[in-house]
Amino acid sequence: MQAKADAQLLREYSRQGSEAAFGEIVARYTNLIYSAVLRQVGSADIAEEVAQSVFTDLARKAPSLAGKLEENATIVGWLYRSSRYAVAKHLRAEQRRHNRESQAMQELDSTSSTSPDWERVRPVLDEAMADLSEEDRQAMLLRFFQNQGFQAVGAALGISDDAAQKRVGRALEKLRARLAHHGITTTAAMLSVVLSTHAIQTAPAGLAAKLAGASLAGAASKTATTLTIMTLTSFKTGIVATGIAAGLAVWLAVEHRSLNQMQVENAALRQQVSQLGHPVQPTQPEAAANADNAELERLRREHVELVRLRGQVGVLRDTLEKKQGELASTQSENAKMTAILKAEAVRVETINSLKKIGLAAHLYASDNGNLLPTNFAQIQDMLDNIGARTNSFEFYDYGKPLSADTNTPTYSFLAREKQARQMPDGKWSRVYLFVDGSVQEAGSDDGSFDAWEQNWIATMAWREAQHAARQTATPVSP
């Protein structure tokens, strides 16, 4: 079974309060965060404390963070940045950073080697990593700090395996250059060996479970607050963030427990009232009778309050359902708009590429006796110069020359898309390059373009016959 993405786990925790989902995230990244902190503070006990603060911060910010992430996004970059902030805060508070950096610089000035010693790299590694761009840092984290292969790195970053390998290589070279500023001279190959060997230290046994429990408890203590009943008109229709749904769901749960508790108390009080129904003995003090009346009045007021709260809970429940429906509708509309924009971008790129291919074909024909090319290899140099892609296109006809007398071709199509594309509205599209260099997009309901192509071919054949008849006709004398 495929493991859930970080974004999915974070949403389960923020929306459903799933401690199992949050525990999975902590277990997944405990080694990375613990190692990053340990490299900077040099103390296992302090590393545990700072790592716990990172995951506590994650639990506290889960609702807002989950709403910003895409479906299969990873939070490794966010966690890594948070660990940097947490360490910096700790070091400032304890006034240790200056002493450690001074000592590290003295050690770096005294020695330089192409095979870097881990104890020299360790104090400055995270500072050098922080200087990298977000894309380069994410690639390095996944490759060397998570021990993932290039295929997994590419999948996480949304690029191919080869592109992931190149990005990691470039990021490694940039990191090597950053370390050189600290007096550590090495090669990218040696640096990769050092990172693969030492970048991740195994956290103490049971630390993941300990961090998860402490973080959840810490987040609860910071965020627990009495929720007042807000005016319903303050909800804006445009605010469809998932935080509204989550907040209302929590409020409803709290109110439900409160109502249950009040029902239990009311039942107990009713029993007391029934006992008070026995005849009052002549010797009962007047104060006791007054207390009974006060108790009955309190029960009446609580019953009225209970009915009012039930009504408000019903209103809030209806509002929650309405907001959830608006959120789903907005998400659906956004998905449709994204699909339309992507389809339009592909369409424009396809048309431009075919126009460039037509230009290159006519330049080739002008140098080869009006004979058009039969394959892309014949015009590849020109296509490279003008930046035209060819992998999704094919030639339609082969070797038919341009007419010598009119410099016009004897057929209609020159090239077309290999495969038709289905558009967001369900219809199909295919773009054709005509031999005169023009481009036309054809549409189809079922994905078949045979009839459309044959119609154009028949039309061109008729035009060619008419043209030939005009050329061979005997002029009539006046």
The answer on 230 and 205 residing in a single domain is no
Mean pLDDT, residues 379-405 taken together: 74
User: Nearest to residue 146, comparing CAs of 119, 168, 178?
Assistant: 168
The answer on 166 and 77 residing in a single domain is yes
Looking at 200, 221, 242, the residue that finishes a domain is 221
User: Nearest to residue 392, comparing CAs of 364, 420, 372?
Assistant: 420
CA angle 312, 313, 317 (to 5 degrees): 120
The answer on 441 and 308 residing in a single domain is no
The answer on 366 and 310 residing in a single domain is no
pLDDT higher than threshold 50 for residue 10: yes
Is residue 17 in some structural domain? yes
Contact, 430 vs 444, CB < 8 A?
A: yes
Q: Is the dihedral of CA 445, 447, 450, 455 positive or negative?
A: positive
The answer on 200 and 79 residing in a single domain is yes
Is residue 238 in some structural domain? yes
* pLDDT of 460: 62
Beta-ladder partners of 443? 429
356-370 tens-digit pLDDT: 998 888 888 888 888
The answer on 242 and 206 residing in a single domain is no
Mean pLDDT, residues 98-106 taken together: 54
Q: What percent of the chain has a predicted confidence (pLDDT) above 90?
A: 27
Is residue 283 in some structural domain? no
* Model pTM above 0.85: no
For all residues of the chain together, what is the average pLDDT?
A: 77
Is residue 282 in some structural domain? no
50-95 tens-digit pLDDT: 999 999 999 999 999 988 888 889 999 999 999 999 999 999 888 7
* pLDDT of 62: 92
The answer on 206 and 159 residing in a single domain is yes
The larger pLDDT score, comparing residue 308 to residue 97, is at 308
122-178 tens-digit pLDDT: 898 999 999 999 999 999 999 998 888 898 899 999 999 889 999 999 999 999 999
Is residue 386 in some structural domain? yes
Mean pLDDT, residues 345-352 taken together: 89
259-275 tens-digit pLDDT: 555 555 555 555 554 44
pLDDT higher than threshold 60 for residue 431: yes
Is residue 477 in some structural domain? no
Is residue 375 in some structural domain? yes
The answer on 461 and 326 residing in a single domain is no
The answer on 170 and 254 residing in a single domain is no
**Phi, psi angles (nearest 5°) of residue 341:** -65, -40
The answer on 123 and 111 residing in a single domain is yes
The number of folded domains in the chain is 3
Domain with 298, as residue range(s), is 223-276+288-337
Is residue 272 in some structural domain? yes
* pLDDT of 433: 87
The answer on 391 and 244 residing in a single domain is no
CA angle 346, 347, 349 (to 5 degrees): 65
Q: Could you say which DSSP state residue 419 is in?
A: S
* pLDDT of 232: 32
The answer on 353 and 384 residing in a single domain is yes
